[in-house]
Amino acid sequence: MNVGWDKMTEKLDGKRVGVALAAVAGSADLACAAAYALAPGATVAFFGNIFHGLELADIANAQVTLAGIAAGFVEITLVAFVLGWLFAAVYNRLPEASQ
């Protein structure tokens, strides 16, 4: 059964990987903003369970603005693009595995 492992030796397109990661991160950011707008307490509790040892309720900002959401979206998508591009660059420089 061929599951495509033979294609793992192909080079990654840094721009495509960056755009894909930026799209996923941007979508997650908007989903998080929507969740906080609709149910702030539940959202803070949810992320409090993920970030052990941090009491997010103590630092949660109840004032969510459209400008803040837009700035966060731009920042996370830019950071994600750069990280995706760097991932592809590092991946492409790894030595190929011997078969």
Helices (H), the chain: 14-38, 40-50, 56-59, 66-93
User: What's the rounded mean pLDDT across residues 23-47?
Assistant: 94
- Asked whether the predicted pLDDT for residue 57 surpasses 90, the reply is no
The more confident residue out of 56 and 17 is 17
Residues with Cβ within 8 Å of 54's Cβ and at least 6 positions away in sequence, in order, are 48
Using alpha carbons, select from 24, 18, 22, 29 the residue that is nearest to residue 71: 29
- Asked whether the predicted pLDDT for residue 62 surpasses 90, the reply is no
The more confident residue out of 16 and 9 is 16
Q: The pTM is what? A: 0.79
- Asked whether the predicted pLDDT for residue 3 surpasses 70, the reply is no
- Asked whether the predicted pLDDT for residue 99 surpasses 60, the reply is no
